[in-house]
Structure 1
Amino acid sequence: MGGNKRKAGKGQDGNGKKAKVDVHKVGKYLPGGFPIDPKMKGVMITCARGKETQAGKEACDLLAEYASKLYGSNFDENGASGDEDESIEDAIAREVAQAKKTKGGKKFLPLLTGTDCVVFIRAMDIQPSSLCHYLLNDLQKLGSKRTRYCQRFIPVEETGYANMDDIKVMAERVFKPYFHAENQEPKTFKVIPKIRHNDKVDREILLKTLATTAGVGQNHKVNLNDPEYVILAEVIKSICFMSVVKDYESLKKYNIQSIFEACQRTTDGSKEEGETSEQKEDVKEPESSSTATA
């Protein structure tokens, strides 16, 4: 009797059902590698554990909508989105098939980072910091959430290898329009580094290197309470994600849930009290070291 049992097909378990894919093993279109390369730009999305795939799809839809508003109708996404419940393998196959149909692929492509609660949305033809600021500022004005799975929208202006030599060179490029432009006026800033799954990059050295690079040859000053710009450096495995953002505190650390809750409290006329969403999120997101500021 046992000899007549059907063999499980590719992507199926012994019961003929679609096998679950370990998100920590999903790489660049095939299981195995880390899907993020240097010189990428996009948006890092945080979400609840186990909802990375749904958050990636949701973020792509919302980013595409606001990119069309910001950059015009010629930016519209091409191709249909997949189902929320589709497997990781099917989602990757769909994205690859879509990328082959259009020159340059899709405008927004979700890539799993192998890290719980974090998805990277690779973006094309946008300025990530401008788009995220525009999106979050609009949602704040409307008092609208618009997301079910996504929490923070962290712009990534460039990615690079997570070693101090490459990080410093990347920082010089990323910082130029904010701190080293022609006829540059003095600015205030602070640095927020976060490190996950990497024991080679020292947090204090990273913080000091970025602060020094931003202020070199200028009269910029560190301001921990109300800076004009916040430098975000997120290290995940072998890649550093970097950006410079404004209105970081007023936009609730770029957290959609926190923005919505603050709008609700304002509408209800109640005072802000209790644990913030950022604090709750920090509990959900595992990391190898805590956030620091310059």
Structure 2
Amino acid sequence: MAGNNKRKAGKGGHGGSDGKKAKADIHKVGKYLPSGFPIDPKMKGVMVTCARGKETQAGAEACDLLSEYAEKLYGYSSKDEPEETDEEESIEDAVAREIAQAKKTKGGKKFLPLRTGTDCVIFIRAMEIEPSELCHHVLSDLQKSGSKRTRFIPVDETCYANMDDIETMADRVLKPYFHAENQQPTTFKVIPKIRHNDKVDREVLLRLLANSAGRGENHKVDMNSPRFIILAEVIKSICFMSVVKDYDSLKKYNIQSIFEAAQKKDGQEKKTDDEKVQEVEKESNDDDKDAAETDKGSSEQDKKSSDAEAGSV
């Protein structure tokens, strides 16, 4: 019978015995579908890393956080946050929706979560916002408040992951930090990362960016306490690049580490306060003990004086 000719879809398939579309596997979209990589060159935004399987939650949380701070800094409305997606959305529909969102440039949402096809990594596209400035402000504020949020780092721009395009993008991204008018000597460090790409060599990428930053200037590489960190991360066919500052003091832009450091600091301060209280109590007890011994000594002296007076009588 015709009705019995339907094949059951395997894991990640597009159909089922009941004829319904398969539910989209959020963090695997793009890993198995060639058309499921909605990130294009010349995008800017925020790269989010999170625990495996928490990509959707982390993306929504990051958009909420960025929207919250963008509203404070730039006056953008919270309505720019991404709408909730249908839990029954198929893989094809999810890919089509993200690609359509990625093509928006004006009049749309300020933050769009896009999947990278890589476990634990999401890219939040930022519209008309400088991600480095925003992320530095957010992380500095969270460091003060000790709030625990998702980890993310800014992305100044993206390009195809080949050395020619990366070199061209590096000239644009690095210019404001290393080749501006009246440029003063500074220090920097390059941190390259490669994921799911065997075409880009890490050492070649590192040398290219170091040479691009220091070209014609007296800038120096400082591995311990550089002024700027050049981050270059290749994921599949796209290279993400940014220049950040206060990288070490902001715990490598890792909010989990910022939170833990804040908790540890609070614990140390509390311990210090408790120790101060104990010292005050100890001093008070010592004073009471000294006073008691003084009173005891005075009583014994008075008794001896009374006995002496009685004997003389």
- TM value normalised by structure 2: 0.74
> What is the Cα deviation at residue 21 of structure 1?
2.7
Amino acid at match of 1:24: K
Contact 2:115 2:121 in 1 (8 A): yes
Q: Secondary structure at the match of 2:42?
A: coil
Q: Distance in 2 between matches of 1:64 and 1:233?
A: 25
Amino acid at match of 2:83: S
1:82 to 81, 84, 90: 84
Q: Which has the higher helix share?
A: 2
Q: Indicate whether 1:223 and 2:189 are aligned.
A: no
> What is the Cα deviation at residue 8 of structure 1?
8.6
> What is the Cα deviation at residue 232 of structure 1?
0.1
Please list, as runs of the form range in 1=range in 2, the aligned pairs for 1:1-294 lying within 5 A after superposition.
13-15=16-18, 19-22=22-25, 23-26=27-30, 32-72=35-75, 74=76, 76-78=78-80, 81-82=83-84, 87=89, 89=91, 103-145=106-148, 147=149, 150=150, 152-269=151-268
Amino acid at match of 1:70: L
> What is the Cα deviation at residue 17 of structure 1?
6.7
Amino acid at match of 2:112: L
> What is the Cα deviation at residue 225 of structure 1?
0.7
Change (3 A) 1:106 1:67: same
Contact 1:190 1:224 in 2 (8 A): yes
Change (3 A) 1:103 1:219: closer
| Equivalent residue pairs, number | 263
Q: CA RMSD in A?
A: 3.1
| Identical residues among aligned pairs (%) | 70
Q: Cα deviations across residues 107-162 of structure 1 (Å, max 9, x unaligned)?
A: 111111111110011110111111111111111100111x3xx3x21110000111
Change (3 A) 1:48 1:180: same
Q: Distance in 1 between matches of 2:100 and 2:158?
A: 25
Contact 2:30 2:117 in 1 (8 A): yes
Structure 1 residue runs without a partner (length 5+)? 271-294
Q: Distance in 2 between matches of 1:175 and 1:2?
A: 62
Change (3 A) 1:245 1:75: farther
Change (3 A) 1:33 1:98: closer
The more displaced of 251-260 and 9-18 is 9-18
Q: Cα deviations across residues 243-273 of structure 1 (Å, max 9, x unaligned)?
A: 0000101111101111100000000018xxx
Change (3 A) 1:190 1:233: same
Amino acid at match of 1:133: H
Structure 2 residue runs without a partner (length 5+)? 270-313
Q: Secondary structure at the match of 2:158?
A: strand
Q: Does 1 or 2 have the higher relative contact order (CA < 8 Å, sep 6+)?
A: 1
- TM value normalised by structure 1: 0.79
Amino acid at match of 1:217: G
Q: Distance in 2 between matches of 1:239 and 1:99?
A: 14
The more displaced of 32-41 and 14-23 is 14-23
Q: Cα deviations across residues 167-186 of structure 1 (Å, max 9, x unaligned)?
A: 11110100111011111111
Contact 1:161 1:238 in 2 (8 A): yes
Q: Distance in 1 between matches of 2:16 and 2:120?
A: 26
Amino acid at match of 1:109: L
Q: Distance in 2 between matches of 1:101 and 1:153?
A: 22
Residue 283 of structure 1 aligns with which residue? none
Q: Distance in 2 between matches of 1:41 and 1:102?
A: 11
The more displaced of 2-11 and 229-238 is 2-11
Change (3 A) 1:250 1:113: same
Amino acid at match of 2:141: D
